[in-house]
Amino acid sequence: NTSLEEVAMILKTHKTLNCHTDIDTRKIYPISLLVSKMMRMPVQPNKAIVGRNAFAHSSGIHQDGVLKHRENYEIMAPEDVGVPQSSIILTARSGKHALKHHLERLGFQLDAEALKQAYEKFLDLADRKKDICDEDLIQLMGGTVQSPQIELHRLQVVSGEPLSPVATVELKVGEEILLASENGNGPVNAAFRAVDRILNKQIDLEEYLVQSNINRSYDTAKVHLKVQHQGRSYVGFGVDTDIITASVKAYLSAINKIPNLLAKTSSSTRTQARALSC
């Protein structure tokens, strides 16, 4: 039961062992995602090498060290195992260096004084939110964020034993209301497939996590998920008293972050989605 990826990377990283394999380690992470998807078993976030936290940094000291010199806190490069890049996660513990890194990535160039003022606003926001996303930073800098282009208008799911799950989803896409129905191996899968049918896009689900907030008067479900489209990953979050509704909201939250998705969807495709569902 030895972890193949850990042994392979130990041999590759520690050259003094004088051992060599012909394993293409750049395929480790993609294969892990494939196995996780096919087996429907999510990888633990803290799993070495392939877990989503393996190359993620949220502590201010760690972030500053990694940005200055990666090997301060990473014994191997994420690219060596197929991970696109390290993740600098913005939280209340992040420092100015991490904030500057993300602002520059978004096109904001700040001098020392402007960065100091932005950092004070950032800390105030981070105290109220667990994680800070790009939209938060744009608003922080006085910019505007477009409202979601794809919104859930109506959802109906039929499921049970021995019924085959069927989901009917109605989305507001721009100014249009589109509807589609799909079967699935479960109610959530059926709802996601209905969304994909409306958009006529191949959206791959990478991670799916449900958390419950139990309250006698108001129980809620929180869904965190990650999807992949054309080689890039996007994270979504949804909350609702109904797990399936929360899942669809999280799915759409991630999809709305995909750049120019609607521009790639022709009007004929949208008309087809409506006609197929009527």
For residue 148, the model assigns a pLDDT of 67
Res 278: pLDDT: 42
Averages of pLDDT over runs of 10 residues in the chain (278 residues) are 90 92 93 85 88 88 89 91 87 90 84 91 84 78 68 94 93 92 95 95 88 67 86 83 93 86 57 49
Q: What is the pLDDT of residue 263?
A: 64
Residue 44's pLDDT is 86
Q: What is the 3-state secondary structure (H, E, C) of the chain?
A: CCCHHHHHHHHHHCHHHCCCCCCCHHHHHHHHHHHHHHHCCCCCCCCCCCCCCCCEECCHHHHHHHHHCHHHCCCCCHHHHCCCCCEECCCCCCCHHHHHHHHHHCCCCCCHHHHHHHHHHHHHHHHHCCCCCHHHHHHHCCCCCCCCCEEEEEEEEECCCCCCCEEEEEEEECCEEEEEEEECCCHHHHHHHHHHHHHCCCCEEEEEEEEEECCCCCCEEEEEEEEEECCEEEEEEEEECCHHHHHHHHHHHHHCCCCCCHHHCCHHHHHHHHHHHC
Residue 276 pLDDT: 45
| CATH code linked to domain 150-277 | 3.30.160.270
Q: What is the pLDDT of residues 250-277, one digit of tens each?
A: 999 889 888 777 765 555 445 455 544 4
**pLDDT for the residue 236:** 84
- pLDDT at position 146 is 55
Task: Note the pLDDT of residue 268.
Answer: 46
